[in-house]
Amino acid sequence: MMDKFVSYTIDGIPMWGATDGQNIIDLSLQMAQFGTLVDLFHANAEIQALELAQNLEPSRDFAETKLSIPVPHPGKIICVGVNFPARNEEYKDGQDAPPNMSLFVRFASSFTGHNLPLIRPKASHQLDYEGEIAIVIGKGGRHISQADSLHHIAALTICNEGTIRDWVRHAKFNVTQGKNFDQTGSMGPWLVPYCDPQQVENAEIITRVNGEVRQQDNTSRMLYPIRKQIEYISTFTTLEPGDIIVTGTPTGAGARLDPPQYLKPGDKVEIEVSGIGTLINTIEDEK
């Protein structure tokens, strides 16, 4: 069933469509009034698009299509740090989780799509993985209550919030540098429309590196649940359709292993999230 959205490029032209994971139906030509999926979310036309897709023939093979991140030009990408109990304990500072969440922002250029390589930069070989759920805002707002928060989600995707570990310590109190090297993270493979609270409140996250499970936890154990994230973030900034919140990673990143195990060329990272799918990337060195 064509029940997921996907963004991709054909001969350098950005396009979007619907997919069942095997085939893609081009919708960006059929619904040319919506240049991107963000435009679709602004118009609240997701159901209309998926209904149209059920009556069209497949346009191309999913596996042979160069995928983009699902929302190629998000207005904001806001990431939540240290959001699982064991992650807080990994810091070994003897402190309980603070009452408010840690946040930072990322640029779209720091992400690449499904089945494309993450790039280990020349500046550092400490490229690490972080498997997470990302939510895409469909209905904007400010001062959104927790009770109403999930109604503001348009769709879900998977994020590998790749990090250059030594560069998150280049300054006294920020992580911006280490979180924004080009193509060090990924999102995808597609967008699954939001329809049920269980999609965000009881989802299993598993990260594998070369087939070995490194991270495994459930969103039910988040220190700051996604309802709280939307409420808190919308207190200080207006959330707009197409904005992305990356919601936090479980324990088990490579930097926390003994000894640390960073990603290297040839490695394969798979992040599986129940109800969404599996995001896959290999690793290459910066040319």
pLDDT on residue 90:
55
| Residue 174 pLDDT | 80
CA angle 149, 99, 196 (to 5 degrees): 25
The answer to pTM > 0.85 is yes
Sheet holding 212-218, edge to edge: 118-120, 277-285, 268-273, 204-209, 212-218
Q: Which pLDDT score is estimated for 172?
A: 81
Per-residue pLDDT tens over the stretch 205-255: 999 999 999 999 999 999 999 999 999 999 999 999 999 999 999 999 999
**The pLDDT of residue 88 is above 60:** no
Residue 254: count other Cβ atoms within 10 Å of its Cβ.
22
Beta-bridge partner residues of 285: 120
Rounded distance, CA 176 to CA 106, Å?
7
In this prediction, residue 74 has a pLDDT band, given cuts at 50, 70 and 90, of very high
Residues of the chain with CATH 3.90.850.10: 77-285
State both tokens at 220: 């039910």
Could you identify the residue written with the tokens 């085939």? Answer: 23
26's enclosing H/E stretch is: strand 23-26
Per-residue CA distances from 240 to 78, 80, 87, 217 (Å): 12, 18, 29, 29
- Per the listing, tokens 């497949």 go with 58
Interacting residues of 116 by C-beta distance below 8 A, sequence separation 6+: 66, 67, 183, 186, 281
| Per-residue pLDDT, 192 | 98
pLDDT number for residue 171: 86
> What integer pLDDT is reported at residue 239 of this predicted model?
98
Under CATH, what is the fold of the domain 77-285?
Answer: Fumarylacetoacetate hydrolase; domain 2 (3.90.850)
Q: What's the rounded mean pLDDT across residues 85-93?
A: 59
